[in-house]
């Protein structure tokens, strides 16, 4: 809000901070307000903010932030029709003309990639035409990406921007289709609240964060969150995902004691829960397509395998390094993608699949198996039980459909 007003006034950020400094307001207090989205209750900070924004009351400020102030709910609801008419009458005159490319930056037999602003490019997609949306937006933590793509918005600007692209994603999602958003918990508390009025909450998945650094005076951050919503009462596709039993890498013994239940373990593995501890970040340059963050192939394989079937359509509005599209290609899914930054690295990745094929093969060495082959050997050597010790061939459950990964 403050930065937007500064731009309207023709002020630089330095000019804005100088204005507050004249009244004895510290830059740290302004930054806290910007990052937290909290409105000061009273005092010098609030008075100076209202003065800079040319507002007289906190009521104006809350409305400008898109909030219904406490105590005004009934009045707001009684005047909804008048408010709607006012918004509709001004909407058409405020719309900006944006050039939307009609041709994709890259296309294959499976999908199309467009280069540009996702909010505008998503308008190219027809209503209810996508089976699954996976979105990994910038986390708004002040990073500068390639081609001048910045990740530093004010609190309200970031939330409003997320609402814009989320509205488009909801629109294009098929009935009972699935929506996944990968972000930090801070933003998901707000995005979840917004989506609750549009889609059906299905899961909050905690993805274990490896090698994270502690933050002073805060609990040690140990996970990213993956929001899972459905457009309807239940997902039209849900393929249970299975993973190996957790074992000691030295002796092969199971970490958790299953006691008398070990004879009941499914030989295809244990069901994946809403806490994913087996997803590791892509850090080594030999497996990265760009210098910025890159999502693991294993993460996208799990999401896409769980929520879609072959030939379903997957949408990713934030292409990044192209992991969603690469996995979709190998799993025989259709896909649509947009990316504001460097699309050349995505194109190169999709035209040269050898590395992703090898990464996906490693994923499937452990997927849908109670014990991977190497663990089996170690357990047998050290006298530990195996699933086949307790079941006959007739009792063995049917294996899930296996993908055929094309050779490079």
Measuring CA to CA, which residue among 250, 118, 237 is closest to residue 174?
A: 237
CA distances from 300 to 159, 212, 322, 334, 405 (A): 25, 21, 11, 14, 15
Going by their DSSP bridges, the two strands 150-151 and 313-316 should be labelled as: unpaired
* Beta pairing partners, 314: 132, 335
Find the distance separating the first CA and the last CA of the chain, reported in whole Å: 51
Which string of DSSP letters, residue by residue, matches 219-257? PPP-EEEEEEEESSSS-S-----EEPPPB-TTT--BSS-
Neighbours of 282 (CB within 10 A): 20
pLDDT recorded at residue 42: 73
| Successive 10-residue mean pLDDT values, the chain, 408 residues | 66 83 88 78 86 87 80 87 81 51 89 94 94 95 67 84 96 98 95 94 92 79 94 96 93 82 85 93 59 84 97 97 97 96 95 94 93 94 89 58 52
pLDDT in tens, 138-179: 998 876 666 656 677 888 889 999 999 999 999 999 999 999
Measuring CA to CA, which residue among 67, 21, 13, 14 is closest to residue 45?
A: 21
Angle (deg, nearest 10), helices 44-52 and 27-36: 70
Contact criterion met (CB below 8 Å) for 361 and 386: no
pLDDT recorded at residue 52: 85
Q: Is 159 helix (H, G, I), strand (E, B) or coil?
A: helix
**Neighbouring residues of 99: CB distance < 8 A, sequence distance ≥ 6:** none
CA distance 277 to 244: 12
pLDDT recorded at residue 1: 67
CA distance 267 to 108: 37
Kindly report the pTM of this predicted structure. 0.82
As a three-state string, the secondary structure of 68-98 is CCCCCHHHHHHCHHHHHHHHHHHHHHHCCCC
Measuring CA to CA, which residue among 243, 336, 254 is closest to residue 298?
A: 243
CA distances from 91 to 5, 88, 95, 250 (A): 20, 5, 6, 64
Domains observed in the chain: 2-94 (no CATH), 106-364 (3.40.50.150)
Measuring CA to CA, which residue among 325, 353, 275, 303 is closest to residue 110?
A: 325
pLDDT recorded at residue 191: 96
Measuring CA to CA, which residue among 206, 275, 271, 265 is closest to residue 242?
A: 271
pLDDT in tens, 82-100: 888 887 776 554 444 445 6
Rounded (10°) CA dihedral 110, 112, 118, 123 = -90
Tally the C-alpha atoms within 13 A of residue 250's C-alpha that lie toward its C-beta.
0
Contact criterion met (CB below 8 Å) for 269 and 399: no
């Amino acid at each position: 809000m403050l930065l937007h007003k500064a731009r309207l006034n023709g002020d630089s950020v330095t000019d804005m901070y100088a204005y507050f400094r004249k009244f004895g307001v510290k830059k740290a207090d302004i930054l806290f307000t910007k990052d937290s989205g909290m409105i000061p209750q009273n005092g010098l900070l609030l008075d100076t903010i209202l003065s800079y924004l040319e507002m007289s009351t906190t009521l104006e400020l809350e409305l400008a932030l898109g909030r219904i102030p406490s105590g005004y709910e009934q009045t707001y609801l009684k005047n909804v029709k008048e408010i709607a008419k006012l918004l509709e009458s001004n909407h058409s005159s405020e719309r900006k003309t944006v050039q939307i490319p009609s041709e994709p930056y890259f296309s294959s037999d499976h999908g199309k990639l467009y280069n540009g602003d996702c909010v505008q490019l998503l308008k190219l997609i027809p209503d209810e035409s996508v089976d699954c949306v996976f979105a990994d937006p910038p986390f708004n933590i002040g990073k500068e990406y390639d081609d001048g793509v910045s990740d530093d918005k004010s609190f309200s600007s970031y939330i409003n921007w997320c609402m814009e692209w989320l509205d488009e994603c909801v629109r294009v999602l098929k009935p009972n289709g699935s929506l996944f958003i990968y972000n930090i918990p801070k933003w998901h508390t707000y995005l979840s609240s917004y989506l609750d009025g549009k889609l059906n909450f299905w899961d909050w998945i905690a993805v274990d964060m490896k090698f994270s650094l502690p933050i002073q005076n805060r609990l040690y951050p140990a996970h990213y969150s993956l929001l899972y919503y459905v457009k309807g009462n239940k997902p039209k596709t849900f393929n249970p995902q299975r993973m190996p039993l957790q074992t000691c890498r030295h002796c092969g013994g199971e970490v958790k004691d299953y006691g008398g239940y070990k004879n009941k373990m499914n030989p295809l593995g244990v069901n994946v829960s809403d806490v994913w501890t087996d997803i590791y970040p892509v850090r080594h340059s030999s497996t990265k397509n760009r210098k910025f963050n890159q999502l693991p192939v294993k993460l996208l394989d799990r999401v896409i395998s769980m929520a879609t079937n072959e030939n379903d359509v997957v949408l990713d509005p934030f292409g990044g390094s192209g992991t969603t599209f690469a996995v979709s290609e190998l799993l025989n899914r259709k896909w649509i993608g947009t990316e504001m930054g460097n699309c050349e690295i995505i194109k190169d990745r999709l035209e040269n699949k050898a590395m992703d094929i090898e990464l996906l093969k490693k994923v499937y060495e452990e997927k849908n198996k109670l014990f991977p082959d190497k663990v089996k050997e170690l357990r047998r050597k050290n006298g530990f039980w195996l699933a086949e010790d307790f079941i006959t061939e007739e009792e063995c459950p049917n294996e899930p459909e296996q993908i055929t990964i094309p050779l490079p």
